[in-house]
Amino acid sequence: MIRRLLLILMLCAPLAACETLQSGQGGADKYSPTALRENLKKGVTTVEDVRRIYGEPRSINQGPEGVTMMVYDPDTSRNDMLSTAMSAVGLGSVGGAARPESRSLYVHFERNRVESYSLSSSKN
- Give pTM, 2 decimals: 0.61
- pLDDT given at position 2: 72
Running DSSP on this structure, what letter comes out for residue 82? H
**How confident is the model at residue 4, as a pLDDT?**
67
Domain ranges of the chain: 2-123
Tell me the three state secondary structure of residue 19.
Answer: helix
pLDDT at 81 exceeding the cut of 80: no
Query: Residue 112: phi, psi to the nearest 5?
Result: 70, 10
Nearest to 110 by CA among 59, 68, 52: 68
> Is 78 in contact with 22 (CB distance < 8 Å)?
yes
